[in-house]
Structure 1
Amino acid sequence: MSLVLPGELVVDEVLPTVRAMLARELAARDLTQQEIAAHLGVTQAAVSSYLADEQGPEGPIAGDHRTQATVERIAEGLATGGMDSYDALGELLALIREFEDRGPICDLHEEAMPALQGLGCDLCVRGTDDDLSTERETLATVRRAARTLSTAEGMAEFIPKVGTNVGMALPDPEGTHDVAAIPGRIYAMGDRVRVPANPEFGASEYVASLILAAMTVDSSLRGALNLVTDDALLDAARDRGIDPLEVDAGYDERGARLRGRFQERGAVPRVVYHRGAFGIEPVLYVLGTSAEEAASLAVSLAEAADRE
């Protein structure tokens, strides 16, 4: 894995782009190339090169409206004398800090370091802390769970037509944004299970609502996934001593209704299902203390069901 610091991207991507854009804005305000070079801290030849480029800077930095707004403010301030180099530097640093907070610098960083993709990395803003470590481990657990589903033989048979998702909540979730899942859902293609993307927080309200409802009764059950409701899966669950809980299929006030059913039973079973309704496919949920545990149980049930 290559190590690329965000500061390298600032030097290689942000500064050249901003300098080129500033040169053009200052030239438009009738400053000479020598004056522009003095403001930018570059040679006159560099300014000439910036201005000779008819197309101008391109890419995520140049294309962001915040860059253009900042460049125009700096150019106007420098041209009129209302801003000195210190003020201009402050404007530029504010822009960079904003871009490091889930902005275009993050996108460039993920391109340069693919290992960061899907982690929701915000090291530049928050640094390393226990909360961030928990978030990373949660994402990694969901990623491993999805891999378990995608590599298990015969799993495609139990993937609903609407797709499957696997999710896991942080230890003390405040809402669906604290539940990691797969964007776009997992789907079956022939006899293979495909995972379209790395997990992200807030990617699945449907699975998240089940996990959050379950955690109100049993806070240890942080992971879940959905399969198609199949009697063979239900029988396999009962053979393992699991008493599946049937719930309503409707979407309205789903979280509240699930909490009510769990509270009625006084516990959350590892398998919950519904038989569907008009326009709603029958779905079975497998829960676990983690996304990985839920995936392992789901694969075990599918293997047993396939043998029947």
Structure 2
Amino acid sequence: MKVISSVQRSSGWTTITLLARMAARLLEAELVELPEPVSRPSLSHRLALRAPRRRGDESCLVIAPDPKDLSALMSSGHLRSGYGQVVGLVIDSFWEDRIPMIAHRRSDFDRIFVTDADSVDPWTQITGTTVNWLPIGADILDGGSASPDRDVDVRRFGRQPSEWDDDKLSFDACASLGLRFKGRPEILAEAHVDQTNYLAELARSKFVLAFNNLEAPASYTHPTRDYLTPRWAESLGAGAVVAGRAPRCATSREFLWPGATLDLGTIERDPALPILREAVNAWNPSMAAYNNWMALQRFDWRWRISAIAEAMDISTPTLDAEMARLRAAIEDRRPAGS
């Protein structure tokens, strides 16, 4: 078996790079990491790919961060090697207008998983294949934390509304109310080291700021579709409460729990500070333990990889061992009375 993934240049995609590596390890597969494409495949290359896919005995999982990456992954030649089944996982599946023509009504994929529930019907209609919803996740088992020792009250990561974007101004505003604020962490070059540093910072935090993309948009976010990003899953897995404005999407409705988020009611900083101060004063270590425990049950990538393996009718000793380890951790970390 092979796992083929596109490695993105942006550090924001590190968690997906590590997901592909975890999937290859758990499925005992060969990992093929392809660089993020810088241009479209040539016309001659695209025409050559119109031939039907050759069939063989091997299985293949293709992980595409963006729908447009399917074109590069399909044109790499790896999918022409003859597989018994090819399954795709598309992370930012809500960009349906980016589904490449080469994937329209073709039989190259036997099944496609999408992380946005509202993408299932459009992808089914466009690709003509079986499409299933597989929500976003994170490595909670090895990357999460239930630590009670947290010296940061409010933590900022990634995209923020304009009023929260200047870390110095946010630090001063929080300090005026006795809140310990910390801004952007150092970004390191190597994916695993960067992720380790990032998760360690999350584990020091009581509250992590995050706002849905419709109320706090950016040039790279979808203008009309609301969605939960891995940052939410990673923050909850680290035991933090996510403070801000949650997306109104199926993943939020079905996977978030009471106490997972703190609704600030606004994207503006100053009106939110008294709400944060009250929440910080009421915070206690049991909240970190509970969020970590719930995230293990709902967001760990191993559940997603297990679902893919079941759909592909694949079983490996490594996957079985990891699922047993995950279930044992859930029992071991069960809070009293839960």
Q: TM-score range by the shorter chain?
A: under 0.3
Q: Which has the higher strand share?
A: 2
Length-normalised TM-score, structure 1:
0.23
* Greater relative CO, 1 or 2 (CA 8 Å, sep 6+): 2
| Structure ID, larger Rg | 1
